[in-house]
Structure formats: structure tokens, C-alpha cells
Amino acid sequence: MHGFNPADFRLVRHGPVEIDPLDTFRHDRALFEAYQAFQIEGRFKNAKYIACFAPHHGTQALFLGVWRIDGEVRPHSRAPESQLALVERFNWPPEGSYYTLTELEAFKELSTRLVIDWGKAAVSWVQKNTSKSVVAIFPPHSIAEFESYAATLLMREDLVEMSRNPTNNHTWHRALRSVNGIYCITDMRNGRNYVGSAYGKDGIWGRWSDYAENGHGGNKLLLELIEKKPDAVDHLQFSILEILPANSTADDAVAKENLWKQKLGSRIGGYNDN
């Protein structure tokens, strides 16, 4: 933080109780910035900047950005109407502070790339201690390292990044190309699911690369959804339900796919139409 005094900072690790911090940061920046601007009175007392993070793995935290504190309005019921409208859903009491914040360009290069160890006091989500260990700095245009098939949760924009920058996402390409499996696409706005199977050349990536290209992968109901609401593609989450044995046939894959459709009810309340 060359040129900055660490004592002027508060580190903020947003929790996943009321919003998904990373997803909201990526796809609804106005809500994210309003969400962090409303705080109890004195939350950022004597601070000039807040460095914000999203939960990562365990006690780790993923850096999102730095915002300068330009002012504090009390009570927060005096905040701009446009900002109050964004957080009305949370039914917060009218007391507290509204902080006017400006994101700093100087730190954007590390946004969603820098990972720190927050420490054992994860419940202490606002801290003065800026002496944190750096766990990783991901390459530009990467989506972090592949960990496991069970832990895979990717947004469609992650697939696009992987498609455009295969070298910086080589662990994902290697892992997804090497197996066949049953996958799930979840519309994070309403919880509706689509279940599909991937088998043949390039495994799961061979199928997911289609979604990276157009968002719908040729699926009828997803295509209709995106044609009606183009921004719906930004809210599609991809996960892996089951890895298929190497000797599985196409018929085996389809049978497993149908079983998962039954388990999740994706023909009834989801995006599967067969």
C-alpha cells in the first residue's frame, strides 16, 4: 500500500447472510456498494478507507477493492432516496450511518485476484489489523485454481474467462476435459435448475464451452429464457452432480441424467423439458 497509511484502513469481510458478496459485487455493483455503505453508527470511525473482501475457502478472504470514505450521514434515513430504495429489502432500522464511498482505481488490478488469510476470528468482519498473510495472487483473467469436482461452483462469466484465457486457467481445462459427468445449471435468481450430461471428446468442458459461447448451449428453455431476458445469462451457476466412470457409455450417461432430473424435479419446476 505504497503512499497509504495502514492505520487509515479498515478491513471488511462481508458475510453471506443477506447477500452473496462475490456474486453481488460481480453482477449488481449498485446493490453491493449500497449494502456496504449502510452501517451501524461509528462502524468505520476514524478510518479513511475500507478494503473489502468476500469469503473464500475456510478463513481465507478474496479481495474486492478499496473505497475511500468521503463522508458520513446520520441517521442513515437521510441517505439519498436511490440508495435507501436499494436496501429497503433488508428492513434495517432507521438508525445508523450512511457512508459516501468512492472506489479507488489504484487497487482494481488486484480485484478478485488477491487472497489473504483473514485469521481465526472470522466473525470479526471489520478489523483494524492490516497485517494479513497473502495466500495467493491469481494471474490476470484467471478464476483461481481448480480444487475438486465436488466443490465446483462457476458462474457463466467464469466459463467465458476460461474459454478466452485457457493458459491462465489450465488447471480447470485439464480437470474438466479429463472426465465425463452429470452437471447442473442453476438460475440464481429463482433457484430453477437444468440438468445435463457431458460425455465424449473433451468431457465436461466440451459441453460447458458451448455455454461459454452462447449461454444456452442449445437447450430450448434456456434459449427462451435468454431471448426474453438477456441478462439472465449472468445469473447462471454451473456445478457438477456426479462424475461418471471412465468406462461409462452414452446410454449410462443419459440414464444417470434422467435420475438426477427426477431427484431435483427439474422437469417440473426447472428448465428441462424432456
Which candidate, 65, 61, 66, 62, places its Cα nearest to that of 118? 61
Per-residue H/E/C for 134-155: EEEECCCCCCCCCCCCCCCEEE
Could you report the per-residue pLDDT of 192-207, keeping only the tens digit for each? Answer: 999 999 998 899 999 9
Q: For the purposes of burial, counting CB atoms within 10 Å of the CB of 263, is it exposed (0-12), middle (13-18) or buried (19 or more)?
A: exposed
Rounded average pLDDT over 217-228 = 96
How far, in whole angstroms, is CA 37 from its chain's centroid?
20
Could you report the per-residue pLDDT of 140-199, keeping only the tens digit for each? Answer: 999 888 989 999 999 999 999 999 999 999 999 999 999 999 999 999 999 999 999 999
Contact 159, 236 (CB under 8 A): no
What secondary structure does DSSP assign to 224-243, as a single string?
HHHHH-GGGGGGEEEEEEEE
Rounded average pLDDT over 217-233 = 95
| pLDDT confidence of residue 165 | 95
What secondary structure does DSSP assign to 59-86, as a single string?
TEEEEEEEEEEEEEESSGGGS-HHHHHH
CA distance 210 to 214: 6
Which candidate, 117, 100, 271, places its Cα nearest to that of 194? 271
Could you report the per-residue pLDDT of 19-49, keeping only the tens digit for each? Answer: 999 989 988 899 999 999 999 988 999 999 9
> Peptide bond before 21: cis, by omega within 30 degrees of 0?
no
At 109, is the pLDDT very low, low, confident or very high (cuts 50, 70, 90)? very high
Query: Helix H segments across the chain?
Result: 21-27, 29-37, 81-87, 156-164, 170-177, 203-214, 220-228, 250-264
Q: How many CB atoms lie within 10 A of CB 61?
A: 28
CA distance 106 to 77: 32
Q: Of all residues in the chain, what percent carry a pLDDT higher than 70?
A: 99
Considering the chain, what is the average pLDDT of its residues? 93
Residue type for position 154: L
Rounded average pLDDT over 6-29 = 91
| pLDDT confidence of residue 271 | 97
pTM reported for the whole predicted model = 0.76
| pLDDT at residue 73 tops 70 | yes
CA distance 17 to 154: 20
C-alpha cell at 57: 475457502
SS3 content of the chain, % helix, strand, coil (to 5): 35, 25, 40
Which candidate, 144, 127, 128, 126, places its Cα nearest to that of 136? 144
Q: What is the CA radius of gyration of the chain?
A: 21
Rounded average pLDDT over 222-238 = 95
Rounded average pLDDT over 231-254 = 95
CA distance 104 to 124: 24
At 2, is the pLDDT very low, low, confident or very high (cuts 50, 70, 90)? low
